[in-house]
Amino acid sequence: MKYTISSAQQIEDSKTIIKTVLDLNIHHDMKRKVIDYLLWNITGAFGKFNTKYISDGAKISHGELLNHEHVFTKKGLIQRILAEPDNLETILKDAIGCIVTKEEHDRLNKEKNVEGWQRYINAKIKVWELNEDILYRKLDEMKNREFMKLPFDLREKIFSIKPAKPFDYNMPNNEQV
């Protein structure tokens, strides 16, 4: 039996479950484990390799191993959620996925005391914001990893993506056009 749920419903259900878990009288580590899993559900709702943001390296990759990176680390998000459960909706706005190369992923993991887009700035990783139309394509019908191995210009042709635009780190996400 194939599990069928819209991406939007998956995100909303994940938020609801997180709210419920926060109110349960269960061990702290179990809460962390469940929230960790649900953060993956949120950032990968449109497909693990079908995010709104893509690094310059991933954009021009030709068969390189790619990673789904959490812009704000899952560890940091979980800490914030557990410390400030009343701010859950605001915190979950930072549950953002970005596709990066393995080499970029390794550079980001070296940025230990910073969160969010500052990690990308420090690691000197340029990010592109894709046209949102691609998020609604049915990439889950093909192997995402195989598709992402194709050169970006070919992926653009396949899905008629409007050109990606450079992401402005200095502009809050909700003000990006």
Strands 127-129 and 53-55: antiparallel
Q: Residue 52's pLDDT band (boundaries 50, 70, 90)? A: confident
Higher pLDDT: 80 or 62? It is: 80
Prediction pTM value? 0.76
Tokens of 64: 């390189």
Contact (Cβ atoms closer than 8 angstroms) between residue 102 and residue 65:
yes
Beta-strand (E) ranges in the chain?
A: 53-55, 66-70, 97-101, 127-129, 165-166
pLDDT in tens, 90-128: 999 999 999 999 999 999 999 989 999 999 999 999 998
